[in-house]
Structure 1
Amino acid sequence: MLRQSFCILLGLLLLSGCGGGGGGSSSAAAPCDLIYSIVFLTVEEGELLMPLTPTVDCGAVSDWSVTPILPGGLTISQVDGTISGTPTTAGTDDDYLITASNSTGSTDFTLRILINPNAPCALTYPSSFVIAEQGTAINPQTPTVNCGYVAQWSVLPALPAGLIISQVDGTISGTPTTAGTDDDYIVTASNVTGMTSFSIRIQVNPPAPCNLVYPLPFVVAEQGTAITPQTPMVSCGDVAQWSVLPALPAGLIISQVDGTISGYRR
């Protein structure tokens, strides 16, 4: 009887050691090999992102997470890890650690996201033709830009001497120092995404002559005798032409060089 009980006990111990009765259990596989199709995502502020869906092998994913949080307007799906949305703020340029996990383990992928600003558009100045006078400050020409922000302002060819363009808002201002300019200038507002341009013509004229004075306001001439040449003074500006109304008496002339009146009264 004792021998029989010992055999029964030994048999039970053997069954227990072998996992008898099917009482054993196994853990679910952890996700592995998480991959997105790109490692560097560039998108424009306000532009709808084409959904970016990853692949993942091994075990089923029960949770998707991102560190740090995605830029405003972008989300990650808890169903399949797809990143989608429309970014609302430019300036982001960071690495994001995306993790697919379950109760057993996890797998990671690093995605860099760069969000660029909208390109500037519809650049316009108040006037497309500016007439300036040498030595006189021009009315500042401040433009408008309809979209995006401007990182840089440029002009080709260079503005006339004495005029500048502001890197803050594109205003053209200053006092031209040299007359004779009459050219078209291409002003460009740009950022990393794109640019917009406007053509403005600038003409710089010389200052008007002023304070014309002759030595005598009254000249008495004798017929057949040369008069004393009357050479005038002009205080400002360059004289391009001299004229007299009515016509001078016969035999007298006015110089187109300096306005001197000379000759013989006939």
Structure 2
Amino acid sequence: MPRLPGLKRESETIGDWHFETTKHHMLVSRCHRQPPCNADSEDPAQLCQFCAISRDISFPLPEELYPNNTLRITHLPSQCTISVRLRALDPYPSAYVVGFAFLLCRFANASRSSACPLAACRVAVTHNTELPSLMPCKRFTVAWTRDMETAHEFDWTYTTEYQGNVSPGMIAEPTEERIDYQALSRPERILFAEELFLYADDFGDNGQAMLSVRMRAMPSSFLVLLRLIVRVDGLFIRVRDTRFYHRFGSDGVIREHFDFEGQTKDLEADFTDPNELRAARAALYNPAK
């Protein structure tokens, strides 16, 4: 595949892990070819990227879309990978989904074969149960749209419910093990760090939706954060975080997912005092033993 003009690649190898990112400018807003592409063409090679994506999507694209931004993390002994990229999904309401190809092996078995020993693969999954109860997305949406006429037949907030997926043949194990936020808060040299934007939209200056992924690798561990932020001015705020954490030398990766959602008026009442906000954050990331 020819290299895209302006494509930037960064990579770093730390022990048994290789980290690689690609960055590119956002998707153009119209066909740039002269003459324009034939939208009815069945050959993707005959279409520019904008026309190829627009043909496969039945709803308006976000104002900012970064289809060439990718993150790939490879465990070298087994060639198992974690990858983050945009892929278009239709139909509504999933809109855009970030695909995590999660193929992480127990490293004790990795030397037996260059292929992934499927029976030994696992992902430890944990969900936070200590957070305040917030109104579920679907119930909240019904509550404030009950008396409104349908204006769009798609999820115009571009909300994705994606939490990361375990590839077929892998085993996801619920666990009580948590990400060690205290260890992550200690000063430590950053060996590799990147932030990638995947899409964004401001709803015609009525709020914001943004999906991004950040990662950092230190001598002791690495952390990946996939974050969706949706804010509709005067109505609600929604945050969905998915984290992948690996402590070098351990035999698995912890995946944590958090959902936060509430009406703007309630959030304003709860978090107007900066001291209360700091206390809530401290309680979240440094729970009492």
Larger RCO: Structure 1 or Structure 2 (Cα < 8 Å, ≥ 6 residues apart)?
2
- With the length of structure 2 as denominator, give the TM-score of the two structures: 0.17
User: Which structure is larger by alpha-carbon Rg, 1 or 2?
Assistant: 1
Comparing both structures, which one devotes a greater share of its residues to helix? 2
